Structure 1
Amino acid sequence: MEYIIQVDENDREIAPIEKLAAHRKGLLHRAFSILIFNAQKQLLLQKRHQAKYHSGGLWTNSCCSHPRDGEPIRAAAKRRLREELGIVCELTPAFEFTYRAELDNGLIENEYDHVFIGRYNGPVYPNKDEIEAIRWASLEEVRADIQQHPDDYTYWFRYLMEHYAEEIRQKVD
């Protein structure tokens, strides 16, 4: 059983909670999203494995997950980036946001999301248990594709691109 961290609207810890229970009940919990950019300012996207417990087969940001109980958020982000993509790089905190989404399988995402930006130009080694495919694309290409094919992307990534693309661009430039 995997435990994540239930939080209040100010990201103050309430209690550890079993991950699936948090998503079934729609409880606000701590999460992170990582955006990895290369030297050409292209964003690394991943297509989530079809077998994921939600949002399988959809394109999303470079890496996203939850810290474990007692695990610092940046340490968790670095751990998952290495586990999912074989990438080790510095991660800079960019901003935080909250969102709530009812997913297609009856689960509810309700996250206090810490966004990190990293820069990386080396090889990528996707974990085949987590990821079906990867690709690099400019923010403009991503936003255009989301407009044309919104159902191909996770809710949180669409939300991120709709509300924070300019802020992300400024931090990458």
Structure 2
Amino acid sequence: MDELVERVDAQDRALGPVSRRDAVREGWLHRVGVVVCRDGQGRYLVHRRARHLSRFPGHYELGVGGAAQVGESYEQAAGRELGEELGVQAPVRLQFTFLNRTGLSPHWVGVCDAVLQETGVADPGEVAWHGWLTESELRQALQRWTFTPDSHETFARYLAHRADPALSRRRSP
């Protein structure tokens, strides 16, 4: 059975539940929670998606995340996905949201962050590889490796947010 997500409007207000498949097929806005993970040294966690996945197989990703289910906050969705994909639990904090028009369909992204002391055992059905990169290494990787469409924008907005924390109080279109 397809998971239910909350269809939302251009201001991220809930309109009602729909299937994720329908949201993607019809281009309906819905919510996706993503967590950018860093370690105590400030390195970023990057992972490569499993090759058999239907969406962006074998692509690298900066954030761990997925569609928010009905009634789930961005933080809850990001935290759930962190546990499912990397086998780790950690507090996640929403930093900002933005309307993402790249990828398979438009969606609101809630970018959270978390500091991980360790990574758990990644689900091989979701994650083929994961590792830590410095900011410089990540910048280089974004130019050389094939990342998911939203990874570039997420990273740019994350860096801008870190430079100006007031951005967390504003929603970006």
TM-score range (shorter-chain normalised) is 0.7 to 0.9
Cα contact 2:5–2:18 (8 A) shared by 1: yes
* Distance change >3 Å, CA 22–CA 64, structure 1 → 2: same
Residue 24 of structure 1: how far off its partner (Å): 1.5
Query: What are the within-5 Å matches in structure 2 for residues 56-95 of structure 1?
Result: 56-95=57-96
Code of the residue aligned with 2:91 in structure 1: it is E
Residue 170 of structure 1: how far off its partner (Å): 6.7
Residue 90 of structure 1: how far off its partner (Å): 1.1
Tell me which residue corresponds to 2:26.
25
* Distance change >3 Å, CA 129–CA 116, structure 1 → 2: same
Q: 2: CA distance between counterparts of 1:166 and 1:71?
A: 26
- What do the CA deviations read for 1:42-85 (whole angstroms, capped 9, x no partner)? 11111111222211110002411011112233222212111111
Query: What are the within-5 Å matches in structure 2 for residues 1-173 of structure 1?
Result: 1-101=2-102, 103=103, 108-149=104-145, 152-168=146-162
Greater shift in the superposed pair: 80-89 or 156-165: 156-165
TM-score if structure 1 supplies the norm length?
0.86
Figure out how many residues of one structure are paired with residues of the other and give that number.
Answer: 164
* Distance change >3 Å, CA 26–CA 94, structure 1 → 2: same
Cα contact 2:74–2:94 (8 A) shared by 1: no
Report the 3-state secondary structure (helix = DSSP H, G, I; strand = E; otherwise coil) of the residue aligned with 2:96. Answer: strand
Q: 1: CA distance between counterparts of 2:96 and 2:164?
A: 12
Q: 2: CA distance between counterparts of 1:62 and 1:163?
A: 12
Cα contact 2:6–2:15 (8 A) shared by 1: yes
Cα contact 2:111–2:154 (8 A) shared by 1: no
Code of the residue aligned with 1:68 in structure 2: it is Q
Code of the residue aligned with 2:22 in structure 1: it is A
List alignment gaps of at least 5 residues for structure 2: 166-173
- What do the CA deviations read for 1:65-110 (whole angstroms, capped 9, x no partner)? 0111122332222121111111111111111111112x5xxxx321
Code of the residue aligned with 1:6 in structure 2: it is R
List alignment gaps of at least 5 residues for structure 1: none
Report the 3-state secondary structure (helix = DSSP H, G, I; strand = E; otherwise coil) of the residue aligned with 1:83. Answer: helix
Code of the residue aligned with 2:124 in structure 1: it is K
